[in-house]
Amino acid sequence: MRPHWDDLRIFLAVARAESLSGAGRALRIDPATVGRRVARLEEALGAPLFAKSPLGYALTEAGARLMPHAIRAEQAVEAAAGDMAGQAGGLSGQIRVGAPDGCANFVLPQVCAGIAAENPDLDIQIVALPRVFNLTRREADMVIAVSPPTAGRLSVQKIADYHLHLAASRTYLRAHPPITRLEDLRDHRIVGYIPDMIFDRELDYLSEAGVARVHLASNSVSVQLNLVARGAGIGVLHDFSLPWLRRGQRVLADQFSLTRSFYLVRHADDRRLERQSRFATALVEGMRTELARLDARA
């Protein structure tokens, strides 16, 4: 008996979620149904595909062998859907984009709103997480990263550079000693990342400013910006977020400036999916335009 695509779809969901309940949520079906379908697939193939443990469902040797075949079947279905959508002219279905929360909060909403307006049958999901995404487990269809990955079968495209500067509210600057050089930061409250939660070395901004102590910290860029906006201290902020820093300004812009880059990361095999490739092109072009617009307003 040959496995049906629908059974393979459920197999992939369990493999990625490592649980029946997680797969059920992703597929919007009852976990008990997920379990029955997995059992049916195992019976059809004559081999156990998962080993259950306190940590969840892990692939057996047979499951690991099935995984690439199931992924290719998934890609074939995606390619067919993309071809049909291409014939219809617009994009449809669902695409999930993972991104660091700074990009997700200040850049992607405008970009994705524009893409959605041009493709009313397309559902776009933005996942903002302050950590590295796992594309193998399909936490997202594509990811915006601040460092290009060096391992895995991935396609990496540089999107654009962006810039960061020290910034503070004018209220804070009026109430505290003047800042004329980087050494003066030692006499000021600093806002930044929680040091042991910096998930990428490219985000370790304050060490480049010679700052050793972070007085008010968060793993969220949005929280940091709100702390700075409320006069809590001085932080390193993205230029593209500065339009949201009302009554704020850059500090020591002539002495401290950082340049970083955004990269679009996808499964290498997904480049053959016409629907995702069209979306990726629109996303990259939109981000470049939006970053340039926000930089001009900073």
Residue type, 20: L
φ, ψ dihedrals at 222, nearest 5°: -65, -40
Q: Name the residue type at position 113.
A: A
* pLDDT band (50, 70, 90) for residue 134: low
Q: Are 252 and 179 in contact (CB under 8 A)?
A: yes
Q: Using CA atoms, how far apart are residues 136 and 117, in angstroms rounded to an integer?
A: 30
Number of H helices, E strands in the chain: 10, 11
Average pLDDT over residues 61-69: 89
3-state secondary structure of 224: helix
- Would the CA dihedral through 111, 151, 134, 241 be positive or negative? negative
pLDDT of residue 85 exceeding 70 = no
Mean per-residue pLDDT over the chain, rounded = 88
Q: Provide the β-strand partners of residue 126.
A: 97
- Record the tokens describing residue 234, joined without a space: 């001085």
Domains assigned to the chain: 5-84 (1.10.10.10), 92-160+261-297 (3.40.190.10), 162-259 (3.40.190.10)
Whole-angstrom CA distances from 9 to 27, 87, 270, 290 are 9, 25, 17, 36
Q: Check whether 90 has a pLDDT greater than 80.
A: no
Contact 105, 220 (CB under 8 A): no
Model confidence at 197, pLDDT cuts 50, 70, 90, reads confident
Residue 276 confidence class, pLDDT cut points 50, 70, 90: confident
Four-residue CA torsion sign, 140, 143, 147, 150? positive
Banded pLDDT at 241 (limits 50, 70, 90):
very high
177: number of Cβ within 10 Å: 9
Residue 107: predicted pLDDT: 97
Position 228 pLDDT exceeds 70: yes
Nearby residues of 57 by Cβ (< 8 Å), 6 or more positions away: 14, 15, 18, 19, 20, 50, 51
Give the tens place of pLDDT for each residue, 46-60.
999 999 888 889 999
SS3 191: strand
**Three-class DSSP category at 266:** strand
The interaxial angle of helices 20-27 and 5-17, nearest 10 deg, is 120
User: What's the half-sphere exposure (Cβ side, CA atoms, 13 Å) at 64?
Assistant: 5
pLDDT at position 238 over 60: yes
Q: Which helix (H) or strand (E) holds 20?
A: helix 20-27
Could you tell me the pTM of the whole model?
0.74
